[in-house]
């Protein structure tokens, strides 16, 4: 009844079906893992935001649980070392981030992302960077690095714009020894005008659980549907054989 399933074209179909089913399961497991990781990250964002405030010494003693905590700093803006982080969006609008080192002593500093600017303001943003002394509170973020793909920044010289908030790259072109993390400004005294505060990290779970369920449903459909296809062809072949015999 199922002898047709041993034909080369059907063997190829079996292999393709197994590959697809394996891909559906792998994609479902991967999306569920992303859902779980997102939940853990959300817990970290919420719990660390309420933790006691950090100081500048804490930022130089970087630990794994420092990201998303609030740091309180005092210092002087190193306006001449301001840089732009290009290709940053806000509510689907294109723009940039203005980042300015804050000198917390004569030798040390912390890179502070002041906020987001619309792309039409990015060309003159550095000229409008804040000056003077300031007391501020900000959200600690880990330095960004290039992955396997993405734009590259020139490795030497002074560059006014960067593809990402790469603290190590900024550290190479300033006279201060920068902390290995950077700060997203929340509030300051005096206030910094002209830039929108960077949005706090999202704490929603995203679509990953729905995608995971979708991939597993694809697996169920394939695991049930393919045997039904084989059964349909087997019955059709059996019926054609009976008709041939009766003729």
Which of the given ranges, 44-48, 98-102, 232-236, 241-245, has the highest pLDDT on average? 98-102
- The predicted pLDDT at position 238 comes to 58
Same domain assignment for residues 59 and 147:
yes
H helices of the chain, in order, are 8-49, 56-60, 119-122, 167-171, 208-246
- 146: domain CATH number is 2.40.50
How far is it, in rounded angstroms, from Cα 75 to Cα 135? 7
Give the range of the structural domain holding residue 101, as residue numbers without chain letter: 51-189
Q: Which residues contact 243 (CB under 8 A, 6 or more apart)?
A: none
Cα separations in angstroms, 193 against 71, 116, 125, 126, 135? 20, 11, 11, 13, 15
Mean residue pLDDT of the chain comes to: 87
Compare 46 and 97 and report the one with higher pLDDT. Answer: 97
> How sure is the predictor about 210, in pLDDT bands with cuts at 50, 70 and 90?
very high
- Phi and psi torsions of 73, nearest 5°: -135, 155
- The predicted pLDDT at position 247 comes to 52
Same domain assignment for residues 223 and 183:
no
Out of 143, 160, 189, pick the residue that ends a domain: 189
Whole-model pTM: value is 0.78
- The predicted pLDDT at position 140 comes to 94
**Residue range 163-205, pLDDT digits in tens:** 999 999 999 999 999 999 999 999 999 998 888 889 888 788 8
With 90 as the cut, is the pLDDT of residue 219 above it?
yes
> How sure is the predictor about 242, in pLDDT bands with cuts at 50, 70 and 90?
very low
Same domain assignment for residues 73 and 153:
yes
- Cβ neighbours around 210 below 10 Å, total: 12
Compare 148 and 165 and report the one with higher pLDDT. Answer: 165
With 70 as the cut, is the pLDDT of residue 74 above it?
yes
Same domain assignment for residues 234 and 124:
no
Domain annotation covers residue 39? no
Same domain assignment for residues 229 and 184:
no
- The predicted pLDDT at position 54 comes to 92
- The predicted pLDDT at position 241 comes to 54
Out of 139, 156, 189, pick the residue that ends a domain: 189
For residue 179, count CB atoms less than 10 angstroms from its CB and return exposed for 0-12, middle for 13-18, buried for 19 or more: buried
Same domain assignment for residues 129 and 156:
yes
Task: Give me the number of domains the chain comprises.
Answer: 2
Residue 238, both tokens? 């059996």
Same domain assignment for residues 173 and 98:
yes
Task: Using DSSP, state whether 200 is helix, strand or coil.
Answer: coil
């Amino acid at each position: 009844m199922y002898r047709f399933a041993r034909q080369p074209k059907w063997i190829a179909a079996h292999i393709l079906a197994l590959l697809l089913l394996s891909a559906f399961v792998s994609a479902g497991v991967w999306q569920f893992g992303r859902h779980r990781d997102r939940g853990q990250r959300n817990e970290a964002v919420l719990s660390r935001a309420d933790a006691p405030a950090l100081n500048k010494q804490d930022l130089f003693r970087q630990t794994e649980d420092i990201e998303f905590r609030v740091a309180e700093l005092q210092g002087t803006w190193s306006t001449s070392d301001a840089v732009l982080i290009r290709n940053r969006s806000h509510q689907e609008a294109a723009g940039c981030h203005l980042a300015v080192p804050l000198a917390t002593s004569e030798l040390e500093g912390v890179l502070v992302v002041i906020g987001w600017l619309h792309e039409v303001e990015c060309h003159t943003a550095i000229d409008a960077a804040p000056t003077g002394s300031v007391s501020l509170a900000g959200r600690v973020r880990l330095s960004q690095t290039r992955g396997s793909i993405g734009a590259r920044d020139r490795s030497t010289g002074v560059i006014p714009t960067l593809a990402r908030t790469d603290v190590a790259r900024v550290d190479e072109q300033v006279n201060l020894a920068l902390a290995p993390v950077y700060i997203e400004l929340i509030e300051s005294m005096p206030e910094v005008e002209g830039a929108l505060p960077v949005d706090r990290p999202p704490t929603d779970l995203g679509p990953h659980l729905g995608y995971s369920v979708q991939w597993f449903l694809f697996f169920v459909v394939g695991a049930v549907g393919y045997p039904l296809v084989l059964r349909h062809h087997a019955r059709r072949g059996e019926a054609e054989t009976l008709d041939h015999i009766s003729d």
